[in-house]
Amino acid sequence: MPLIIKDEYPEKLFRKDGKRLDGREINELRPIKMDVGVIKNADGSAYLEWGNNKIIAAVYGPREVHPHHLAKPDRGILRVFYRMATFSVFDRKRPAPGRREKEISMIIADCIEPLLFLELYPGTSFEVFIEVMDADGGTRCASTTVAALALADAGVPMKSLVSAVAVGKIDGKIIVDLSGIEDKAGDADLPIAITWYNEEISLLQFDGNMDLEEMNKFLDLAYEALKNIHQIQLDTLKSKYVKLQEETSNPNHKNDNKGE
Ligand code: CDP
């Protein structure tokens, strides 16, 4: 069997037909699949497959704060724990949370906190646990997106959802939703998130070079992609309630569950 060195970058990130290596157009998202209510023991949860990324988010709260000294008498607190499984990347990732995981947990919390009414929950906490089981570029954006969905699934009052995506630049072309290889080999990478209640940017990181004109193009492309991602989040939440409604209006529903 030939030895495959996964981290060797291909020389070209575009095919001869102008498409990206995975066959996408420059403004095309990877396939996205979401689900909610996937963890029985959590107050709310969500699952996301975004290209090769597989991420689960589970939410608890409002509940007692541990350790107690973190509790605030006048408001609730939000704690986010982004973790990447050891088996989620080609190299063995150290199991202990590293600096990158702490940074990503912090930026996700910064994206989500403005959505919540923490002042209504003094002395309590909301905790969001995010596990990246398979990683292939853009996990901070995917994790932000799935965390918002899990909070909504938990019935936590929110001003809106937040959606996130990374845009980038390769060979002078601006592309949407970078895969792992595009993230590593590209010239620029800009993760961006929008909170929908005010359509404001709540995350904007940047790695690489670009001029102002390119920045405007980045933002336009990101906005179009974010609208699509938001729609998938909304459809996923709605489908949960449609399913519930169907189950409760089906007279055989109780019989269907007999024997469980
Ligand atoms: O995942 P995201 O793009 O938000 O963050 P990153 O730090 O820019 O990482 C980009 C990609 O590198 C990840 O999605 C993983 O596919 C990969 N990665 C890895 O292979 N090993 C790590 N320890 C961390 C990231």
Residue with CA nearest ligand 1 atom 11: 137
Task: Cite the beta strand spans of the chain per DSSP E.
Answer: 32-36, 44-50, 53-64, 77-84, 124-134, 162-170, 173-176, 188-195, 200-204, 207-208
pLDDT in tens, 185-241: 888 899 999 999 999 999 999 988 888 899 999 999 999 999 999 999 999 999 988
Q: What spacing in Å lies between the alpha carbon of 165 and ligand 1's midpoint?
A: 14
Do 124 and 59 contact (CB within 8 A), yes or no?
no
pLDDT at 162: 98
Q: Which residues line ligand 1 (CB under 6 A)?
A: 89-91, 93, 100, 135-140, 180, 183
At 253, is the pLDDT very low, low, confident or very high (cuts 50, 70, 90)?
low
Q: What angle do CA 100, 174, 54 make, to 5 degrees?
A: 40
Distance CA 194, CA 51 (A): 21
Rounded to two decimals, the pTM is 0.93
Q: Domains in the chain, start-ordered, CATH in brackets? A: 32-246 (3.30.230.70)
pLDDT at 256: 52
User: Counting atoms of ligand 1 from 1, which one is nearest the CA of 143?
Assistant: 4
Give the chain's mean pLDDT: 92
Label the pairing between strands 32-36 and 188-195. unpaired
User: The tokens of 71 are what?
Assistant: 């509790």
In terms of pLDDT, which residue wins out, 172 or 151?
151
Q: What spacing in Å lies between the alpha carbon of 168 and ligand 1's midpoint?
A: 15
**Which class for 126: exposed (0-12), middle (13-18), buried (19 or more C-beta within 10 A)?**
buried
Do 150 and 58 contact (CB within 8 A), yes or no?
yes
Q: What spacing in Å lies between the alpha carbon of 111 and ligand 1's midpoint?
A: 19
User: Counting atoms of ligand 1 from 1, which one is nearest the CA of 98?
Assistant: 23
Mean pLDDT of 149-176: 96
Q: Is the pLDDT of residue 1 over 90?
A: no
